[in-house]
Amino acid sequence: MLNITLKLHDTHNCELTSEKSYKTFDNVQVKVDLKKYCDSEENLLNSHPDLKNFCYKLVSNLENFKEKNSTNLNNDCLHLQLWIQDNVFKTVERKFIIFYIVLFDKIWRNFMDKNDISDKNEYMPKHYTVGIDYR
């Protein structure tokens, strides 16, 4: 008698594009030479070590965007910006959410200003309304 095992795929396990992007952003190899962008905000990030490590990932991901020629850069940057917001919402007290989102925006813009990028408008964060009652 032939014994056949069928492997059934879980049809309820559907990973969203944003989840895939977030995993990629979270697993980025942190580039030591880029830590200077986050360390310049030393005092502001010291109270949240998780955010400091997150900042290192942010600038490393920006560097990766710069190095690759993505045909979907606007979408990648949008996911990166939403990833920032998601991490800030999960890490800081509600009253500091906007402050840290603005801080990461500043770090992002500082990175852009100090790097030779041909079309900076493509890389710059876009501003959207953010409700702080997210939780």
So what's the pLDDT on residue 1? Answer: 54
In a domain, residue 66? The reply is: yes
- Is pLDDT larger for residue 122 or for residue 77? 77
Query: What percent helix, strand, coil does the chain show, rounded to 5?
Result: 60, 0, 40
Q: What are the pLDDT digits (tens) for 60-111?
A: 999 998 887 666 777 888 899 999 999 999 999 989 998 999 999 999 989 9
Q: Which range marks the domain in which residue 103 is found?
A: 27-123
In a domain, residue 6? The reply is: no
With beta carbons less than 8 A apart as the criterion, state whether 51 and 41 touch.
no
In a domain, residue 78? The reply is: yes
Give the pair of three-digit tokens for residue 96.
């500091």
pTM for the full predicted model: 0.79
Q: Total structural domains in the chain?
A: 1
In a domain, residue 69? The reply is: yes
Contacts of residue 61, defined as CB under 8 A and 6 or more positions apart, other chains included, come to: 25, 28, 80
In a domain, residue 9? The reply is: no
In a domain, residue 13? The reply is: no
* % of the chain residues with pLDDT over 90: 36
In a domain, residue 8? The reply is: no
In a domain, residue 128? The reply is: no
